[in-house]
Amino acid sequence: MTHWIRRPVPPHEEINVVFFRGMSLDALTRGLLTARRMPLAYGKGADWSVVMHDLLGWDSDDYGLVDYGRLCRAGGELAVFVTEPCIAKAHGPEFGYYRDGRLITGLSFETPSYGVGERPDLLAPALTAANLVGPHADDDGDSDMRTARAIATHFALPDLDLPSALGNP
């Protein structure tokens, strides 16, 4: 991780990477703990900050997704990378952007051309420019990284060591 992450994350950890702004670290941490997700590391940036947390809940049978909409009320924004949404089935990463408690846009890295949320096509220009969707789409085996970079650039997210954050060497 970059120098501004406060604590190293163990390798091969199933983590979600949550960039946030317009809300306090304390509020986000309390929300994650209420959702039974253990925060693992955090970093404070000039605009966006980041928290990394366990993908799975601390109960052995808790495989549900975090309701991020509930965590970012009243002016909060979250840009969430779910790095391994279903490791047993080998699904690719997912992304969701939440604002004021609503899912604005989201996508699976496996099918980035099919967005969801209030503005499912919000990322289409960035993904098209990166040749990930559209007539010139190119899957060169590095599409997960290119997708993460296109999203990070679109939202002006701070730089993380994305291969490590997404579980790639």
Give pLDDT tens digits for 15-53. 889 999 999 999 999 999 999 898 888 888 889 999 988
Instruction: Render 131-157 in DSSP notation, one character per residue.
Output: TSSSTT----S-HHHHHHHHHHHHHTP
Q: What is the pLDDT of residues 118-169, one digit of tens each?
A: 999 999 999 999 999 988 888 777 788 889 999 999 999 987 654 444 444 3
All residues at 6 or more sequence positions from 4 whose CB lies less than 8 Å from its CB, including other chains: 43, 44, 45, 158
Instruction: Render 35-55 in DSSP notation, one character per residue.
Output: TT--EEEEE--SS-EEEEEES
Specify the pLDDT at position 62.
64
Specify the pLDDT at position 164.
45
Please provide residue 152's backbone torsions phi and psi, each rounded to the nearest 5 degrees. -60, -40
Q: pTM of the full predicted structure?
A: 0.86
- Asked if residue 2 has pLDDT above 50, the reply is no
Taking the domains of the chain in order of start, what are their residue ranges? 15-57+66-161
Q: What is the pLDDT of residues 78-115, one digit of tens each?
A: 999 988 766 555 567 899 999 999 999 999 998 999 99
Cα dihedral value 160, 163, 166, 168, nearest 10: -160
Three-class secondary structure of residue 162 per DSSP = helix
